[in-house]
Structure 1
Amino acid sequence: MGLTGKLVRQVEIKSDGDVFHELFRAKPHHISTMSPGNIHGVDLHEGDWGHVGSVISWNYTHDGKKKVAKEVVEAIDEENKSVTFKVIDGDLTELYKAFKGTVHVDTKGENNLVTWTLEYEKKSENAEDPNTLMDFVINVTKDIETHHLNRTGTRTRTRVDLHEGDWGHVGSVISWNYTHDGKKKVAKEVVEAIDEENKSVTFKVIDGDLTELYKAFKGTVHVDTKGENNLVTWTLEYEKKSENAEDPNTLMDFLINVTKDIETHHLK
């Protein structure tokens, strides 16, 4: 038997494939809340979340033991929805000279296919193939799936996509896909301002359903931190196209519900 090997396994998911890809691309530090029995934490060491060359470490339990894997994000393919991580330090380097894992999501309607590929070179013939590690990543995938399916009934479910710029930067253009007043809607927005000192972000709507009713529309979310209790303030500023357009009271209710859903998620 050779020292190099490759394992491939697929699992079908019914939750949003784009959201799943975005999780591994830019938000792996959220996975510990979705699969706490397997992933205990993901930390950023170098670079920025969601960028090639960034270095992150995974703290996890595998085969009944707590382990660490330090990895560099080697490749991100947005078109094919795949992310490749190359191991550079940690427990896996005790058995393998080289080790990398790729997670790819094939989105087809409501059903999506997640493919995990593990490529490796053993240090010796005595090192086992990483079959149990493949079982581990499949279990993590299923945990993520369960987490998202448990939340599909929420009335405030949203998806956010980046169109221009980088996450967390003024001038970036993003679109929100959401359900409001029982209808699926879209809002395309530019990040107009970020105030780190006052913990506020302002989004200006530039396209989508809201532009049918309003000439101008912007929303600001501000967080006032005071010890363990924090106050979130939403401010909506708008100019109607006509007197017949309603004030966005139900949209404010929507944003408050989103805020409460985020709170529930983090408290869990």
Structure 2
Amino acid sequence: MALYGKLETEVEVNASVEKFHEIFHQKPHHMSNISPDKIQSIELHEGEWGKVGTILYWHYFHEGKACVSKRVIEAVDEENNSVTWKELEGDISKHYKNFRVKVQCIPKEKGSVVHITLEYEKLHEQIQDPHTFLQLCADAAKDIDAHLMGYDNEGSCITAKA
């Protein structure tokens, strides 16, 4: 079993690249309102929203447990609508020496494709690959799409969006 790994998934969304990327890049703190069963809060610890080098505190649920994460925005690629975060400390660091999350929004004829990549280095061979964390990211992407398209988490139409 390898200590280094990479997992990827794609989520098709109806929202435009610009709107979707804006949430992940400039307004991640809105995710707690969009997907409250997955993300409780994202707080600015140091820097400015959306800027490389900015440090954020994430409070989220994973595998039925409340978790925390301190992440730095490692890269932003405006041309390719991607953001990469690197884990600095938190619950993920208990299992992985290095952990990165990259979210890229790719335009398609109608809507977009959200490409999520996890790159990691396990602390030891008995650590499982982070498939459940990848699923958490994909599910949050679906919640964001529903919000941007005017639907709540249960699929009911929202008449007035904030």
Give the TM-score category using the shorter length.
over 0.9
* Match in the other structure for 1:136: 136
Report the residue type matching 2:119 in the other structure.
Answer: E
* Offset, 1:108: 2.2
Contact 1:72 1:87 in 2 (8 A): yes
| CA–CA distance in structure 2, aligned partners of residues 80 and 149 of structure 1 | 22
Runs of 4+ in 1 over 3 A off after TM superposition: none
Q: Which runs of structure 2 are paired with 1:58-207 in the superposition (5 Å)?
A: 58-150=58-150
* Offset, 1:16: 1.8
| CA–CA distance in structure 1, aligned partners of residues 9 and 93 of structure 2 | 22
| CA–CA distance in structure 2, aligned partners of residues 111 and 28 of structure 1 | 20
| CA–CA distance in structure 2, aligned partners of residues 107 and 19 of structure 1 | 11
The two structures have a TM-score, normalised by structure 2, of 0.92
1:204-230 C-alpha deviation (Å, 9 max, x unpaired): xxxxxxxxxxxxxxxxxxxxxxxxxxx
* Offset, 1:149: 1.7
2:29 counterpart of 1:29 = yes
* Offset, 1:154: 8.1
| CA–CA distance in structure 2, aligned partners of residues 24 and 146 of structure 1 | 15
> Between Structure 1 and Structure 2, whose CA radius of gyration is higher?
1
| CA–CA distance in structure 2, aligned partners of residues 43 and 138 of structure 1 | 21
| CA–CA distance in structure 2, aligned partners of residues 108 and 17 of structure 1 | 9
| CA–CA distance in structure 2, aligned partners of residues 47 and 143 of structure 1 | 27
The answer to which structure has the higher strand fraction is 1
Report the residue type matching 1:74 in the other structure.
Answer: E
Other structure's SS at 2:84 match: strand
Contact 1:18 1:107 in 2 (8 A): no
Report the residue type matching 2:120 in the other structure.
Answer: Y
The two structures have a TM-score, normalised by structure 1, of 0.57
| CA–CA distance in structure 1, aligned partners of residues 49 and 62 of structure 2 | 24
Structure 2: 5+ residue runs without aligned partners? 152-156
* Match in the other structure for 1:55: 55
Higher RCO (CA-CA < 8 Å; seq separation 6+): 2
CA RMSD of aligned residues (A): 1.5
Aligned residues: 157
* Match in the other structure for 2:18: 18
| CA–CA distance in structure 1, aligned partners of residues 92 and 104 of structure 2 | 22
Contact 2:27 2:49 in 1 (8 A): yes
Identity %: 43
